[in-house]
Amino acid sequence: MPRIVIIGGGPAGYESALTARQLGAEVILVEDEGVGGGCVLYDCVPSKTFIASAGGRTAALAAGELGVMIDDEQVTVDLRTVNERVEGLALAQSLDIRNRLELEGVEIVAGRAQLADSAPGLAAHRVEITGADGTNRVVDTELVLLATGASPRVLDTAMPDGERILTWRQIYDLTELPEHLIVVGSGVTGAEFASAYTEMGVQVTLVSSRDRVLPGEDADAAAVIEQVFHDRGATLAKQARAASVVREGDGVLVTLVDGREVRGSHCLMTVGSVPNSADLGLEKVGVETGPGGFITVDRVSRTNVTGIYAAGDCTGVLMLASVAAMQGRIAIWHALGEGAPPLRLKSVSSNIFTHPEIATVGVSQSEVDNGTVPARALLFPLATNARAKMLGLNEGFVKLIVRPATGIIIGGVVVSPAASELILAISVAVQNRLTVKDLAYSFSVYPSLSGTITELGRRLINYAGDLG
């Protein structure tokens, strides 16, 4: 039975451990923070749990439009309860995963691991594990999977102190809602927290180094979120790169590169992540890293060293839990000779948990606009959807990106509540090369938000001439 040592117990690590056990391998999984990794304990799971509470407040405040009268003054947030729920749910999820791994026969070791080969280029590898209890252990193995994730990027001039200048991992320690939260960095993490705190009733200023929120995402979707931020009273500082963040009295001072100053009570730094690839012994073994220290892998998760694979955020391929898990599974299938399908990023669907949510799959509109992909994009607002009206939804849309001539669906965007669920229909279409006709002929429930997806299919049939 082959032995595999997996370093890191996030989605890349635990999913690959389960796949390896399914194929009969002996699996040792080393994890230093707790099973579930950064994803379950600090990043994805806590933030989505927090966002669920923020959505509860918004729903209560919006109930009046539906004729359910709640006194706005009585809709308050008990941050301690919210944060206890966040922590409790993360720990419970971690325990669920631990139980499943143990049931499947994975040996879980609490501690830190590093590669300890005596020289680069060897076919067999050695992993040194320092246990949480201080013990040392050396394991010989032919197969290693590096799944060590990433950590918040920290700027020298904006050192988090855990009280007022915070990383997203420290924010759940607050006992009271900030008076005025400055969020530095308007990528997905920054937009999600800015959205959630705005929903919680906190004054938020989002500092964006670019001319818009969510610079890497669909521009129409970002415009909706900007408008929603504005309507909820948040401020967006554009073309605003933070040079430094310091404590000032009872608050914080953010100084921008161009000299502007932004003052608030707290500052949340969301300026990206750095891979956990230092202290892994990579140089001893000759594992190559690329810009920023991300571990270089191919589409079946191989590093340049035989027998050493890497998956998840430490590779920087696409920092999503779903992608991390798939890279991990592919690594194991490949390592154990199961004929792995190479990673295909074109069909990855993802979601930004703002309010409304933004879900995307496949080819983006910017790829169409800049001529990289010959296709047509058509956007249809939710405003005329009967269900949207019943629910009191005033914003949002569905967009499809379609090949000319064939009408094959190659991408899509949904901006709406529960977009993370609605995108699946478009995702299935992209994965299976379905056409606008396939969508047009499909039944959606009446009334439903997904009716706009099939409606868009029908509209695009009418554009058949334009489609080629």
Ligand X SMILES: Cc1cc2nc3c(=O)[nH]c(=O)nc-3n(C[C@H](O)[C@H](O)[C@H](O)COP(=O)(O)OP(=O)(O)OC[C@H]3O[C@@H](n4cnc5c(N)ncnc54)[C@H](O)[C@@H]3O)c2cc1C
Residues that bind ligand X (CB under 6 A): 7-13, 30-33, 37-39, 43-44, 47-48, 112-114, 147-150, 168, 189, 276, 280, 312-313, 319-322, 324, 353
Between 185 and 328, whose beta carbon lies closer to ligand NAD? 185
Among ligand X, ligand NAD, none, the one that 242 touches (CB under a kind-dependent 5 to 8 A) is ligand NAD
Secondary structure class of 256 (helix, strand, coil): strand
Between 43 and 226, whose beta carbon lies closer to ligand X? 43
Between 325 and 453, whose beta carbon lies closer to ligand X? 325
* Closest listed residue to residue 378, CA positions, set 358, 402, 351: 402
* Closest listed residue to residue 411, CA positions, set 393, 394, 423, 397: 423
Instruction: For the CB of residue 369, give the shortest distance to ligand X in the complex, in Å.
Output: 26
Between 14 and 333, whose beta carbon lies closer to ligand NAD? 14
Q: Residue 450: what residue type? A: S
364 binds ligand NAD (CB under 6 A): no
Instruction: For the CB of residue 367, give the shortest distance to ligand NAD in the complex, in Å.
Output: 17
Between 324 and 402, whose beta carbon lies closer to ligand NAD? 324
Between 275 and 396, whose beta carbon lies closer to ligand NAD? 275
Between 319 and 414, whose beta carbon lies closer to ligand NAD? 319
Instruction: For the CB of residue 194, give the shortest distance to ligand NAD in the complex, in Å.
Output: 11
Among ligand X, ligand NAD, none, the one that 357 touches (CB under a kind-dependent 5 to 8 A) is none
The DSSP call for residue 450 is T
Question: If you search the block for the tokens 């929903």, which residue do you land on?
Answer: 199
Distance CA 343, CA 323 (A): 9
Q: Could you tell me the two tokens for 271?
A: 């300026």
In 114-272, which residue ranges form alpha helices assigned H by DSSP? Answer: 188-199, 219-231
Using an 8 Å Cβ cutoff, are 226 and 254 in contact?
no
319 binds ligand NAD (CB under 6 A): yes
**What spatial distance separates the first Cα and last Cα of the chain, rounded to whole Å?**
56
Contacts of 289 (CB under 8 A, 6+ apart): 275, 277, 282, 295, 296
* Closest listed residue to residue 399, CA positions, set 432, 362, 447, 352: 362
Residue ranges at the known binding site for NAD(+): 185-192, 272
Among ligand NAD, ligand X, none, the one that 13 touches (CB under a kind-dependent 5 to 8 A) is ligand X
Among ligand X, ligand NAD, none, the one that 275 touches (CB under a kind-dependent 5 to 8 A) is none
Segment contacting ligand NAD (CB under 6 A): 69-77, 123-131, 348-356, 443-451?
348-356
- How many other β-carbons are positioned within 10 Å of the β-carbon of residue 132? 12
* Chain residues 168-227 in contact with ligand NAD, contact rule CB under 6 A: 184-190, 192, 207, 209, 215
Distance CA 63, CA 79 (A): 22
* Closest listed residue to residue 385, CA positions, set 336, 450, 443, 437: 450
Q: Site size for ligand NAD, by CB under 6 A? A: 23
Using an 8 Å Cβ cutoff, are 289 and 123 in contact?
no
* Chain residues 235-254 in contact with ligand NAD, contact rule CB under 6 A: 241-242
Q: Residues interacting with ligand NAD, by CB under 6 A?
A: 184-190, 192, 207, 209, 215, 241-242, 270-273, 319-320, 350-353
